[in-house]
């Protein structure tokens, strides 16, 4: 992505209407178009890059939390005997056949969190 496009995306993310014409970025205010200076385009482009990096890092953090939670809940689930697993499935209203091997990770996480909330 070029600096013009990054600056445009960053400004539009802030609710500012923009247009690119002839390799020039314009900010639209009502029916007037104002040309942005190169230093402002560079600044907005850098802001865009920082926001993208921050969003990526947040996504990675969320993925790692989900992974950690799936490992924790799976270990918790696998350390129970089958009778306890079936009892928990009934307790939390699973209408599937009570086969603990068919419980999905997302369901394990929900049961784990419900059992461990304080």
Is the predicted pLDDT of residue 87 greater than 70, yes or no?
Answer: yes
List, for residues 18-36, the tens digit of each pLDDT value.
999 999 999 999 889 999 9
The token duo for 83 is 């009778």
Span 52-63, mean pLDDT? 81
Is the predicted pLDDT of residue 61 greater than 90, yes or no?
Answer: no
Query: What is the per-residue DSSP string for 65-94?
Result: HHHHHHHHHHHHHHTS-HHHHHHHHHHTT-
**pTM (whole model) above 0.75:** no
Span 52-80, mean pLDDT? 81
Tokens 């799976």 -> residue: 74
CB 115 within 8 A of CB 109: no
């Amino acid at each position: 992505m070029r600096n013009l496009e990054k600056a445009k995306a960053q400004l539009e993310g802030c609710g500012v209407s923009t247009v690119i014409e002839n390799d020039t970025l314009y900010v639209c205010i009502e029916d007037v178009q104002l040309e942005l200076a190169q230093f402002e385009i560079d600044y907005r482009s850098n802001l865009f890059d920082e926001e993208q990096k921050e969003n990526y890092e947040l996504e990675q953090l969320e993925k790692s939390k989900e992974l950690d939670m799936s490992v924790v809940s799976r270990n918790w689930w696998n350390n129970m005997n089958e009778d306890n697993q079936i009892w928990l499935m009934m307790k939390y209203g699973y209408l599937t056949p009570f086969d603990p091997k068919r419980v999905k990770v997302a369901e394990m996480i929900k049961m784990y969190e419900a059992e461990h909330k304080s």
